[in-house]
Structure 1
């Protein structure tokens, strides 16, 4: 995977488990002038109707994972893969290459006009995207707080929330790759001060 240091742009990888508060950190970084690439948005784009990734998903999971309009039923697919690690692995195998391709394309476009680029990605480590980053920030939050946040955010049951948390790499594993750990157990100002310090 190519590195972009030659462009002179600092690339920051931001990761953390679901509900840890990555979007809070990326929002603060954006307000401070950092160009943010949100891997969740990229992931939604690459599985739109007519895209190669969606065709591959249909080939494996069948047309039952589509809405009536031919778009992906994300909720239905989520309920399948977050309850079955092997199916999640296959879905990731299909989508990750397209997500990486698009992120690299965005870095090339914005690398010459930004002082720093932040890649906000839950899958930063699993995809190897961290290898092209100058720094890796891991957002940390207590497990119960994360569970509560995703139940409220996504309208999930306690069991569904736990399945999502368990489907990801553990926070302890992520910390092995971290050049910085951002604590998100308090309020937004506490997070903002940490981000300001890291960007200095």
Structure 2
């Protein structure tokens, strides 16, 4: 199984594209946003560390993290943003790798890794064979974010500026899915990319690589066991 990184700017339609891959083509999708919520649940190590670094002011009376308050802090303070990333990103990476192993055991040709900060953190880049950026123009992105999160223009722009520019992401990726037009047009673009991914033989190469690694290790283990009298 090979991995496909799916990313894009905030409010550009990445989740919509991930949903199309999953629901219309049956592709397994491992969602970093969902995992990010799981690793900061009460009692988790990342939860405890956030309380130590940011204090009780970023928590609700229920004990859960106040995401709106925390967002206001990190999107206006680069140092605080890096502190939070240093806490949660290793935990997210660990859980993603575990889910990748579980998905691979099911025999899929490839899996989609839905990661908003794929190029910013670079933590999962070594594992992906292809990358996809979901794109829309700057005015659309700003308007969508303001409407979706009920933000004023300044707050929305601060969140957009905290990420790598869409232009730079498009230069770094394998495929770009244009989400500036209608949903039907976006679906067509997803279909085209899905066909290209299906045509790839990366999964065969990876399986051969695992096989060539597994066979020598197995033979070496048998030889050691025989030499030591275990077999």
Per-residue CA deviation, residues 88-127 of structure 1 (Å, 9 max, x unaligned), is 1111111100011111111111112222210111111223
SS of aligned partner of 2:119? coil
- 1:136 is aligned, of 103, 107, 131, to 131
Aligned to 2:154: 159
Hey, what's the Cα distance between the residues in 2 that align with 1:47 and 1:148?
A: 30
Structure-2 separation of matches of 1:194 and 1:10: 21
Gaps of 5+ in 2: 196-231
SS at match of 1:20: coil
Aligned to 1:147, what secondary structure does the other structure show? Answer: helix
Q: Does 1:46 align with 2:46?
A: no
Match of 1:121 in 2: 115
Distance 1:183 1:133 in 2: 21
Q: Hey, what's the Cα distance between the residues in 1 that align with 2:161 and 2:189?
A: 27
How many residue pairs were aligned?
A: 192
Aligned to 1:189: 184
Q: CA deviation at 1:133?
A: 0.7
What's the TM-score once normalised by structure 2's chain length? Answer: 0.80
What CA distance in whole angstroms lies between the structure 1 residues aligned with 2:126 and 2:184?
A: 30
Q: Residues 120 and 163 of structure 2 are in contact (CA less than 8 Å); yes or no, is this contact kept in structure 1?
A: no
Q: 3-state DSSP class of the match of 1:34?
A: coil
Q: Which residue of 2 aligns with 1:30?
A: 22
RMSD in angstroms over aligned alpha carbons?
1.1
> 2:61 is paired with a residue of what secondary structure?
coil
Partner of 2:219: none
Large movers: runs of 4+ above 4 Å? none
Query: Corresponding residue for 2:198?
Result: none
Q: Larger Rg: 1 or 2?
A: 2
1:97-112 mapped onto 2 (5 Å cutoff): 97-112=90-105
Number of the residue aligned with 1:61: 54
Matched, 1:180 2:165: no
How many Å separate the matches in 1 of 2:147 and 2:184? 21
* Aligned with residue 2 of structure 2, among 7, 10, 14: 10
Residue aligned with 1:125, SS: helix
- Tell me the CA shift for residue 151 of structure 1: 1.5
CA distance in 1: counterparts of 2:145 and 2:34, whole angstroms = 17
